Amino acid sequence: MAKRAGIGVEEFGFGLPPRLWGKKIKGTIYSINWLPFGGFVRLVGEDPTDKNANGTNSFGQKPILTRATVIVAGVFMNLMLAAVIYYYFVISSGFSLPFEKLPFDYTFKGVSQISRVVVAGVSADSPAFKAGIKGEEAILSVDGIDVKNINDLQTIVRRSENRRIAVVLENIKEHKTRTVEVVPEMNKEVNAPAIGVSLAEMTFLNFNTLTQKVFSGFIFSYNMIIFSFGALGKLIGSAITSGNVQPVANAVSGPIGIAHLTMKLISFNDPMPVVIASILNLMAMFSLNLAVLNILPIPALDGGRFAFLIYEAISRKKPNASVEKWIHTIGFVSLISLIVLISYNDILKIIHNQLPF
């Protein structure tokens, strides 16, 4: 966006300096840097005290709207990446997207939401195995009684020992229903009648209308942003109430924790499509978080620079160059310090095997 606007781009860097490698192409240095914390774009005149700040290709000399477009371009692309990935998940699920039960109640906006009890696994030689029940099937009803949660199913099964019951199942991928008959048997491990399945409560988002389907990627992205920051807000509130910041520390990870999680996913013996889907899901979630974090009015981030543009637009005068530079410098140092602290915490959690994945 900067080049399209005629702004000089001095460097496009992966990671943060010091520089490991760089090559200059058409006036821009493309670099790989030692600190693997994100990346940066260095523009001509972005620093208001730059000696080239008054040049024709200077960021600072462009109209406010042009500068705003350049600043929010990264945030926009983060949102678009997440939306495209979520479009893939929603469409491939037949517009009925399943995921595990949420840790707290949340009603998704712009889409219908329903809870289902899903078969996660079937024990060998169990009544369920003999009846042909398979994993990734939702149990809709038993003997005509709707199953809304695991307790509903257990109640029906435990009063039906050695009695044939009709179970209505739905394949969560193909959305095809079928009915099987199964006879619960006494299970010594649980000391109760059982059919031999492990269960999970899952939420299904159904994108039914044309509008919901067309905007499904953006609808899901919006909900994941609200849900994620709502969950973080509850953790922070709990930490303040209890005076214990450990839950927040355990829930937050930096680049080292993310790399550890990615390696864990790759090391599992899951089929490659499952691994790829898990990594894509992580990419989408991280991209959304980056978009929101970047647009917050934090000095040194895009949101901090955008806040100065709003000030300039309202006051119709540019902020003091030295003051703006120092504010961004302090913000940058604070962010690096926070990254170092989070990374140190990630290392400790890895050493003590306390990462939540």
DSSP track, 249-293 = HHH---HHHHHHHHHHHHHS---HHHHHHHHHHHHHHHHHHHHHH
* 255/317 same-domain check: yes
- Can you give the pTM of this predicted structure? 0.83
Partners of 171 in beta bridges: 137
Best CA proximity match to 111, nearest among 201, 203, 228, 225: 203
* 221/256 same-domain check: yes
For residue 1, how many other CB atoms are within 10 A of its CB? 16
* 347/245 same-domain check: yes
| Last residue in a domain, options 162, 179, 206 | 206
* 275/320 same-domain check: yes
DSSP helix/strand/coil, 186: strand
* 305/352 same-domain check: yes
Q: What is the pLDDT of residue 357?
A: 53
Q: Is residue 83 part of a domain?
A: yes
Which residues in the chain belong to E strands, given as ranges? 9-25, 28-43, 96-100, 112-122, 137-142, 145-146, 165-171, 177-182, 185-187, 192-194, 197-206
Per-residue pLDDT 10s for the chain (357 aa) are 999 999 999 999 999 889 999 999 999 999 999 988 788 999 999 887 888 888 899 999 999 999 999 999 999 999 999 999 999 999 998 899 988 766 667 889 999 998 889 998 999 989 999 999 998 899 999 999 999 889 999 999 999 999 999 999 998 888 889 999 999 999 888 889 999 999 998 889 999 999 999 999 999 999 999 988 888 788 788 778 878 777 777 777 888 888 888 888 888 777 888 889 889 999 999 999 999 999 999 998 999 999 999 999 999 999 998 899 999 999 989 988 988 888 888 888 888 776 655
Q: Is residue 106 part of a domain?
A: no
* 89/237 same-domain check: yes
Q: Is residue 18 part of a domain?
A: yes
CA distance 207 to 298: 36
Q: What is the pLDDT of residues 83-108, one digit of tens each?
A: 999 999 999 988 999 887 666 678 89
* 247/186 same-domain check: no
- Neighbouring residues of 115: CB distance < 8 A, sequence distance ≥ 6: 101, 148, 149, 201, 202, 203, 204
CA–CA distances in Å: residue 26 to residues 1, 4, 51: 16, 14, 21
Q: What is the pLDDT of residues 128-165, one digit of tens each?
A: 999 999 988 999 999 999 998 899 999 999 999 999 99
* 262/356 same-domain check: yes
Burial 127-157 (b: 16+ CB within 10 A, else e): bbbebebeeebbbebbeeeebeeeebbbebb
* 342/266 same-domain check: yes
Best CA proximity match to 290, nearest among 348, 221, 235, 233: 221
* 91/223 same-domain check: yes
Q: Is residue 91 part of a domain?
A: yes
Q: Is residue 107 part of a domain?
A: no
Number of domains making up the chain? 3
Q: Is residue 187 part of a domain?
A: yes
Q: What is the pLDDT of residue 234?
A: 81
* 82/54 same-domain check: no
Best CA proximity match to 94, nearest among 206, 221, 220, 211: 206
| Last residue in a domain, options 206, 228, 244 | 206
**Domain span at 284:** 73-95+209-357
Q: What is the pLDDT of residue 131?
A: 93
Residues across the chain? 357
CA–CA distances in Å: residue 245 to residues 230, 234, 336, 340, 353: 17, 12, 21, 18, 19
Q: Is residue 202 part of a domain?
A: yes
Q: What is the pLDDT of residue 37?
A: 79
Q: What is the CATH number of the domain that holds 160?
A: 2.30.42.10
**CB distance 334 to 239 below 8 Å:** no
Q: At what angle do helices 272-295 and 255-267 cross, to 10 degrees?
A: 170
Q: Is residue 100 part of a domain?
A: no
Q: What is the pLDDT of residue 355?
A: 62
* 90/220 same-domain check: yes
| Last residue in a domain, options 206, 228, 248 | 206
Q: What is the pLDDT of residue 356?
A: 55
* Amino acid, res. 51: K
